[in-house]
């Protein structure tokens, strides 16, 4: 996410890494603490439908990720990050990568202890500093419950995809995690789930130090949707939604410009804003493809994605798309 944020001209304070890694980063990156001696390894294999590897042929497009990483699950940079944060004077703090803690072999209550330290950092931030938490795919239900206890209530903004939203929605609404998610959900379904999550986290009882959620960004294959509280200071919601949609295409295609010959729209020409009977249908306009409207004190924008048909890479897409929208709203 830091790489995408700095493309927008933003200086970034980031966690520890090795010296060779630091030398490959832009000068707008400022690394905290003592460099790591050894790189953490994350191996991502992406493949398309029908690709052949030896005697195997892929029945569907997918990706396979393995890693050797002991520093990120332990949040080893947290203390040094906290020490340098005050002098850096950030406009926003972005928290991501916590999926590395999922199913990691912690000692008893060790994960909760580290998350509590991260929570203390979030609580100690000035009210003027916005906090964004980027969700991820979590296989362990207890990890989701830990996030709901230690991290989510202390975030002003949350980003997630169409598989992660139903998990949080189900946990808040039913107390359990959804085992299956529709890979191509209706816009109305996503918007209704967003409303429930937004209102539940924004209007629920607040303990000391907790923040009221004021921004929710859901990035799907077919569209981008951003919901903000109008009194929260998040700006440029329409532009942010448009930029997120365009970034989705450029990142996956691996190009700096959108090539319409390698893109397609999979949304319909209009969409219902809710699954409730009699809900308004919102048509797409060629001259203004981002649809925005107000619902009381909440502003909502939806933009169709020009889905890339000549895929270069999908891993990291969510982080890049979320950052592209976030940088215009800080």
Can you tell me whether residue 242 is helix, strand or coil? helix
**pLDDT > 70 fraction of the chain, expressed in percent and rounded:** 96
Whole-number Å distance between alpha carbons of 121 and 125 = 7
pLDDT value at residue 273: 97
Residue 241 host element (H or E): helix 237-253
pLDDT value at residue 184: 86
Question: Which has the minimum average pLDDT: 20-29, 123-132, 272-281?
Answer: 20-29
Would you say how long the chain is, in residues?
330
Whole-number Å distance between alpha carbons of 325 and 317 = 13
pLDDT value at residue 16: 76
pLDDT at 6 over 70: no
Whole-number Å distance between alpha carbons of 142 and 108 = 13
Whole-number Å distance between alpha carbons of 6 and 54 = 40
pLDDT tens for each residue of 122-142: 999 999 999 999 999 898 999
Can you tell me whether residue 84 is helix, strand or coil? helix
Dihedral (CA of 322, 324, 328, 330) sign = positive
φ and ψ of 93, to 5 deg: -115, 125
Query: Which residues have C-beta within 8 Å of that of residue 120, sequence separation ≥ 6?
Result: none
DSSP-assigned letter for residue 285: B
Residue 326 host element (H or E): helix 317-327
Q: Where residue 4 falls among pLDDT bands split at 50, 70, 90? A: low
The overall average pLDDT reported for the chain is 91
pLDDT value at residue 21: 81
Whole-number Å distance between alpha carbons of 139 and 98 = 12
pLDDT tens for each residue of 186-225: 999 999 999 999 999 998 767 778 899 999 999 999 999 9
Instruction: Kindly list the domain boundaries of the chain, sorted by start residue.
Output: 91-221+314-327
pLDDT at 50 over 60: yes
Q: Which of 25-34, 77-86, 185-194, 312-321 has the highest mean pLDDT?
A: 185-194
pLDDT value at residue 5: 67
pLDDT value at residue 160: 97
**pLDDT > 90 fraction of the chain, expressed in percent and rounded:** 68
pLDDT value at residue 7: 62
β-bridge partners, 293: 300
Kindly state the average pLDDT of the residues 248-258: 95
Q: Where residue 14 falls among pLDDT bands split at 50, 70, 90? A: confident
Whole-number Å distance between alpha carbons of 268 and 258 = 20
pLDDT value at residue 9: 57
pLDDT at 249 over 80: yes
Q: Are 171 and 148 in contact (CB under 8 A)?
A: yes
CATH placement of domain 91-221+314-327: 3.40.1190.20
Whole-number Å distance between alpha carbons of 234 and 251 = 24
């Amino acid at each position: 996410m830091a790489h995408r944020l700095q493309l927008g001209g933003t200086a970034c304070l980031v966690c520890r890494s090795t010296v060779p890694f630091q030398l490959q980063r832009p000068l707008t990156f400022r690394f905290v603490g003592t460099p790591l001696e050894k790189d953490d390894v994350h191996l991502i294999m992406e493949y398309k439908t029908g690709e052949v590897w030896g005697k195997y042929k892929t029945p569907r497009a997918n990706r396979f990720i393995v890693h050797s990483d002991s520093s990120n699950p332990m949040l080893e940079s947290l203390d040094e990050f906290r020490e340098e944060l005050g002098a850096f004077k950030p406009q926003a703090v972005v928290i991501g990568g916590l999926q590395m803690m999922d199913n990691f072999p912690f000692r008893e209550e060790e994960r909760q202890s580290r998350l509590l330290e991260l929570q203390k950092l979030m609580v100690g931030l000035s009210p003027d500093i916005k906090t964004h938490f980027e969700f991820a795919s979590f296989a362990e239900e207890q990890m989701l419950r830990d996030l709901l206890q230690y991290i989510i209530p202390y975030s002003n903004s949350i980003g997630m995809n169409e598989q992660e939203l139903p998990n949080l929605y189900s946990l808040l609404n039913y107390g359990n995690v959804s085992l299956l998610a529709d890979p191509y959900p209706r816009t109305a379904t996503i918007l209704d789930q967003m409303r429930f999550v937004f209102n539940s986290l924004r209007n629920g009882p607040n303990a000391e130090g907790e923040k009221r959620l004021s921004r929710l960004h859901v990035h799907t294959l077919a569209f981008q949707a951003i919901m903000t509280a109008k009194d929260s200071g998040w700006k440029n919601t329409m532009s942010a939604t448009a930029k997120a949609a365009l970034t989705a295409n450029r990142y996956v295609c691996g190009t700096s410009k959108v090539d319409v010959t390698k893109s397609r729209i999979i949304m319909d020409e209009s969409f219902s804003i809710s699954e409730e009977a009699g809900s308004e249908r919102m048509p797409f306009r060629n001259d203004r493809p981002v649809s925005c409207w107000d619902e009381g004190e909440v502003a909502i924008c939806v933009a169709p994605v020009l889905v890339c048909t000549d895929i270069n890479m999908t891993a990291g897409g969510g982080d890049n798309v979320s950052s592209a929208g976030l940088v215009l709203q800080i």
